[in-house]
């Protein structure tokens, strides 16, 4: 391992601590009875507290020192005084352990007494401290001044995502996002559970990936010797449960799509899907706007949230615009009753990237996506999508070329998608067959025919409305983060290059021998290694090439030494 100067120093401190009989990684529990936040909320002079956390800053002034301790709730100032910690003759606990052997980042426990300093800072006077974990790697520590301005922030996105643990330690605002994320999940659960909908779990490994148009990840089950797919959606399983007699089921579903990654797409992401029997999409719109208002308040304490330059108003109700009206509004073009060629001509004339393989539905979708979608900033329901684009949706009760579907647009992006669910098994079979035809033409995202799902529908699924919400995107809007990576603890990244030098078997064997002796005569090492001439030559060249060993020629002969 290549250690930096600071890492070496910390390892030396670790050894010294052990010499002094201090276990840097003790096993025993530490009897914490307070947190920094609780102390601040209920501050009483002279109160005794036991807290634990990470040492985050130190200001040493001889035989006294101020420091900051950070726990899960925040930070508090702590005051180390030599005579307080070491009342007797032996001052080593302060002079050596605290001043010399502790580092920023170490996790310590503190028994202390609350007091207020001259300048009015709530502070814990340390009566005794215990090292709980020695930190061997320096934290990328930003400094914050009295006005809350941050200097030398840990901001490199690559390092922040790869080392989220460090990001969370030093960037409190990052933690805040994830606290909000969990608040949102909890709020949704509460909202659904209060209405007696039932949280369920359905398979992630699916023999047929259904419920959405997307490329799946494929894997293999050895015992069964069959391919399995990581789910791209859980829709068809939840509907099976409605067939089975549940009135309302929901699931927070980790979905997996083998597609591109960008600011708004991660290969695995979380959707929430809920299905409620005996409802339609009109009911679902009301339900959705109430849900989102509820969540916005739970997360931010307000029905408005800021995203970039815009204030999003989450207060229900939201406007409802049919797709036809939306297109009319932004292009002046009425798609009602238009033929495929008329739609194609219009799209072409408006410089929309279309091709002749596109059907009516796809053309309409392109026109909407290009000319309208981005204009819906405040939450708006877009309703009544073309049938061709929606193979799981019930035909519109008045317009047979449309479906009873809505998407909720916020800041020009879709965050929710809902239908009056198609429950006519014969219609569903025909829609699947149309998808299969698309697949035959080479559409690798067309849906598979799921015979078991059709069998379920044949038993009869009550009229049902379903809703899917992209949880990651929703939390992006509620926490003002334009990138999905900021709302996932561990966003997908390309594997890191291994920085450490990797040695092959022969090289490692020679290197181990070499380490015992530091420097050896070349021939002696060769004999010790027992390798053939050829292998020996290759291994030594490997070692010198990787700069872990070097060969030197002196008057006494050739010598090799570890670097």
Partner RNA sequence: GACUUGGUAGCUCAGCUGGUAGAGCAUAACACUUUUAAUGUUAGGGUCCUGGGUUCGAGCCCCAGCCAGGUCACCA
Residues in region 228-257 near RNA by CB under 7 A: 257
- Please select the residue that binds RNA; options are 351, 441, 497, 534, rule is CB under 7 A: 497
Query: Taking contact as CB under 7 A, which single stretch among the options 41-49, 53-61, 288-296, 454-462 is the one that binds RNA?
Result: 53-61
Q: Is 103 in the site for RNA (CB under 7 A)?
A: yes
Asked if 257 contacts 232 with a C-beta cutoff of 8 angstroms, the reply is yes
Q: Is 23 in the site for RNA (CB under 7 A)?
A: no
Asked if 209 contacts 234 with a C-beta cutoff of 8 angstroms, the reply is no
Q: Is 483 in the site for RNA (CB under 7 A)?
A: yes
Residues 109-148 that bind RNA (CB under 7 A): 115, 117-121, 123, 125, 138, 140-146
Asked if 161 contacts 174 with a C-beta cutoff of 8 angstroms, the reply is no
Give me the least distance between CB of 542 and RNA, in Å please. Answer: 14
Question: Based on CB atoms, which residue is closest to RNA, 88 or 400?
Answer: 88
Question: Based on CB atoms, which residue is closest to RNA, 395 or 486?
Answer: 486
Query: Taking contact as CB under 7 A, which single stretch among the options 340-348, 391-399, 406-414, 549-557 is the one that binds RNA?
Result: 406-414
Q: Helix or strand or coil: residue 20? A: coil
Give me the least distance between CB of 162 and RNA, in Å please. Answer: 8
Question: Based on CB atoms, which residue is closest to RNA, 153 or 359?
Answer: 153
| Strands in 62-138 per DSSP E | 64-71, 74-81, 107-116, 122-133
Q: Could you give the C-alpha distances from 165 to 160, 175, 464, in angstroms and in order?
A: 8, 10, 43
Rounded to 10 degrees, the C-alpha dihedral 424/427/431/437 comes to: 140
Question: Based on CB atoms, which residue is closest to RNA, 94 or 250?
Answer: 94
Per-residue tokens: 63? 């035989």
Residue 312, phi then psi, degrees to nearest 5: -90, 130
Give me the least distance between CB of 367 and RNA, in Å please. Answer: 12
- Please select the residue that binds RNA; options are 74, 153, 425, 462, rule is CB under 7 A: 153
Q: Is 5 in the site for RNA (CB under 7 A)?
A: yes
Give me the least distance between CB of 56 and RNA, in Å please. Answer: 10
Q: Is 88 in the site for RNA (CB under 7 A)?
A: no
Per-residue tokens: 70? 């950070």
Question: Based on CB atoms, which residue is closest to RNA, 103 or 388?
Answer: 103
SS3 content of the chain, % helix, strand, coil (to 5): 35, 25, 35
Q: Could you give the C-alpha distances from 5 to 8, 11, 136, 138, in angstroms and in order?
A: 5, 10, 11, 11
Give me the least distance between CB of 151 and RNA, in Å please. Answer: 4
Residues 314-353 that bind RNA (CB under 7 A): 353
End-to-end Cα, the chain, rounded Å: 12
Give me the least distance between CB of 190 and RNA, in Å please. Answer: 26
Sign of dihedral through CA atoms 175, 183, 109, 61?
positive
By C-alpha distance, which of 242, 238, 217 is closest to 227? 217
Q: Helix or strand or coil: residue 227? A: strand
Looking from the CA of 310 toward its CB, the CA atoms found within 13 Å total 16
Q: Is 59 in the site for RNA (CB under 7 A)?
A: yes
- Please select the residue that binds RNA; options are 194, 499, 502, 554, rule is CB under 7 A: 499
Q: Which residues are CB-contacts of 390 (< 8 A; sequence separation ≥ 6)?
A: 361, 403, 405, 419
**String marking each residue 252-291 x if it binds RNA according to CB under 7 A:** -----x-xx-xx-x--------------------------
Residues 418-457 that bind RNA (CB under 7 A): 445
């Amino acid at each position: 391992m290549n250690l930096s100067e600071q890492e070496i120093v910390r390892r030396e401190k670790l050894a010294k601590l052990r010499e002094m009989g201090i276990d840097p990684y003790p096993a025993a529990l530490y009897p914490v009875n307070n947190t920094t936040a609780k102390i601040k909320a209920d501050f009483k002079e002279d109160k005794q507290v036991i807290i634990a956390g990470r040492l985050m800053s130190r200001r040493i002034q001889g035989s006294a020192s101020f420091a900051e301790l950070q726990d899960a709730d925040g930070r508090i100032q702590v005051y180390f005084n030599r005579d307080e910690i070491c009342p007797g003759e032996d001052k080593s606990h302060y002079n050596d352990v605290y001043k010399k052997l502790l580092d920023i980042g170490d996790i310590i426990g503190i028994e202390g007494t609350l007091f207020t300093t001259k300048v009015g800072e709530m502070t814990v006077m340390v009566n005794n401290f215990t090292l709980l974990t020695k930190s061997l790697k320096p934290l990328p520590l930003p400094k914050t001044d009295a006005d809350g301005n941050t200097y030398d922030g840990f901001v490199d996105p690559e390092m922040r995502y790869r080392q989220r643990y460090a990001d969370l330690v030093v960037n409190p605002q990052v933690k805040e996002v994830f606290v909000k994320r969990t608040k949102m999940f909890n709020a949704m659960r509460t909202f659904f559970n209060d209405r007696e909908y039932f949280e369920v779990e359905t398979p992630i490994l699916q023999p047929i990936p259904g419920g959405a148009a997307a490329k799946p990840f494929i894997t293999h089950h050895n015992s069964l010797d069959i391919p399995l797919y990581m789910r791209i959606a859980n829709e068809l399983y939840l509907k099976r449960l409605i067939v089975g007699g549940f009135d309302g089921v929901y699931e927070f579903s980790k979905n997996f799509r083998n597609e591109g990654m960008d600011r708004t797409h991660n290969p695995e992401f979380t959707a929430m899907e809920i299905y409620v029997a005996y409802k339609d999409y009109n009911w679902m719109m009301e339900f959705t706007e109430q849900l989102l208002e509820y969540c916005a308040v739970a997360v931010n304490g307000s029905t408005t949230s800021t995203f970039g330059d815009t204030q999003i108003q989450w207060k229900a109700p939201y406007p409802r615009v049919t797709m036809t009206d939306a297109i009319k509004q932004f292009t002046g073009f009425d798609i009602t009753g238009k033929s495929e060629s008329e739609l194609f001509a219009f799209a072409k004339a408006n410089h929309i990237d279309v091709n002749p393989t596109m059907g009516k539905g796809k053309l309409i979708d392109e026109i909407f996506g290009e000319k309208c979608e981005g204009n819906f900033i405040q939450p708006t329901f877009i309703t009544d999508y073309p049938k061709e684009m929606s193979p799981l949706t019930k035909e519109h009760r008045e317009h047979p070329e449309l479906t009873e579907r809505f998407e909720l647009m916020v800041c020009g992006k879709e965050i929710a998608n809902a239908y009056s669910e198609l429950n006519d098994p014969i219609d569903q079979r025909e829609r699947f067959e149309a998808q299969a035809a698309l697949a035959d033409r080479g559409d690798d995202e067309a849906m598979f025919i799921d015979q078991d799902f059709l069998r379920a529908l044949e038993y009869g699924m009550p009229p049902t409305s379903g809703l899917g919400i992209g949880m990651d995107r929703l939390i992006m809007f509620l926490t003002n983060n334009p990138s999905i990576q900021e709302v996932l603890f561990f966003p997908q990244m390309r594997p890191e290059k291994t920085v450490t030098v990797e040695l092959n078997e022969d090289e490692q064997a020679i290197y181990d021998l070499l380490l015992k002796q530091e420097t050896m005569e070349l021939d002696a090492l060769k004999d010790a290694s027992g390798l053939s001439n050829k292998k020996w030559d290759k291994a030594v060249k490997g070692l010198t090439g990787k700069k872990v060993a070097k060969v030197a020629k002196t008057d006494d002969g050739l010598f090799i030494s570890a670097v």
